Amino acid sequence: MREINITTVDMNLLRVFDVIYRERNLTRAGSFLCLTQSATSHALGRLRVLFDDELFVRAPHGLTPTPRAVQLSGLISPAVAAVQQALNAANGFDPETATMQLRISLTDYASSVLLPRLVHRLEREAPGIDIETSHAGPEEARDRLDTGQLDLAVVANGDHPTRFSLQHLFSEDYVCVAMHDHPLIEGGLTMPAFLQMRHVLVSAGTEQRSIVDRVLAAHGQRRRVAVKVPFLAGIANLLTGSEMLCTLPRTLADELCTRWPLRQFELPFDGVVAHYHALWSQRDDDSPAHKWLRALVAECCEGISCAHDGAV
């Protein structure tokens, strides 16, 4: 492998490499870098000459990195992040004047209750900062944090490797939601009735066992999940015209029952609690922009915890 003289290297190419590696798409990479697609393609050509490797090859859903590119990313991505942190520290970070994009992964539920609060705060306090949100399960979120595709992830429960930092944001207990005049529920919801009825499970992942099912399994019980949907959108309309039940975080249930002809019931068993955390790469621990973002997210979550008198 030939040695490359650092004095002959345009360091901007390393940032281009880092963004293309994250985006796996030249158009999106160019947009992020404020470059035309032609300029981005030209920069990729220079990178290929520099490293004597194709680096990225076309695939059905974008670009796929070569083994050499994967190896280089493990060195270049942390270096680019370190330089950015050094510049932030040297120049200070003022959210009122900062212009940047931050990328956050949210669960479907967090998108519903946290995102509106976060956007309102950004409009008032950091008008030059844009955010891009996405949905990712814990494993995918960790992978994207590793590669720099995410700045922060909001995840529910779960243990994480020590290369990540974790901050508790809020906890939510769950209640059962059903049509307002459900013919099979008189008074409170009993365990036999809960197990007898058909349930809707909201889960974007492939996992068939939710926190409810794990708690039931610990009691030696099992419910019937008749319908599994990936998102919360439309769940109220579904329940209004059905005799099925859906177990949801209490804050969301309160909102749905206010707006729709739905009623909530306490679960006939304890232990269904989700603990939401902010997750990030330890390399961003001391980044002023990331520290500000984490503090802002935590402040927005305080309102969520208080929405139902701090129930956990």
CATH number at residue 132: 3.40.190.10
CB contact at 8 A, 297 and 277: no
Choose the final residue of a domain: 57, 91, 125: 91
Q: What is the pLDDT of residue 205?
A: 64
- Is 312 a domain residue? no
Q: Is the entire prediction scored with pTM above 0.85?
A: no
- Residue 207's pLDDT band, with cuts at 50, 70 and 90, is low
Q: What percent of the chain has pLDDT over 90?
A: 43
Q: Specify whether the backbone of 241 is left (phi greater than 0), alpha (psi in -120 to 50) or beta.
A: alpha
Same domain as 267, residue 178: yes
Same domain as 119, residue 36: no
95-123 pLDDT per residue, tens:
888 888 889 999 888 888 899 999 999 99
- Residue 311's pLDDT band, with cuts at 50, 70 and 90, is very low
30-64 pLDDT per residue, tens:
887 878 888 899 999 999 999 999 999 998 888 99
* Beta-strand pair 56-59/224-229: unpaired
Q: What is the pLDDT of residue 309?
A: 38
- Is 311 a domain residue? no
Which residues in 91-100 are b (16+ Cβ under 10 Å) and which e?
Answer: eebebeebee
- Is 56 a domain residue? yes
- Is 1 a domain residue? no
- Residue 247's pLDDT band, with cuts at 50, 70 and 90, is very high
Q: What is the pLDDT of residue 1?
A: 56
Q: What is the pLDDT of residue 20?
A: 92
Same domain as 134, residue 80: no
Residue located via tokens 């705060």: 121
Same domain as 200, residue 248: yes
CB contact at 8 A, 134 and 105: yes
- Is 193 a domain residue? yes
Check whether 310 has a pLDDT greater than 60. Answer: no
Same domain as 222, residue 147: no
| Alpha carbon distances (Å) from 140 to 75, 80, 113, 150 | 21, 22, 22, 10
Same domain as 291, residue 154: yes
Question: In angstroms, rounded to a whole number, what is the distance separating the alpha carbons of residues 300 and 292?
Answer: 12
Same domain as 135, residue 49: no
- Is 251 a domain residue? yes
Give the count of domains, the chain: 3
Same domain as 41, residue 189: no
- Print the domain residue range for 107: 100-170+275-306
Same domain as 161, residue 178: no
Question: In angstroms, rounded to a whole number, what is the distance separating the alpha carbons of residues 41 and 58?
Answer: 13
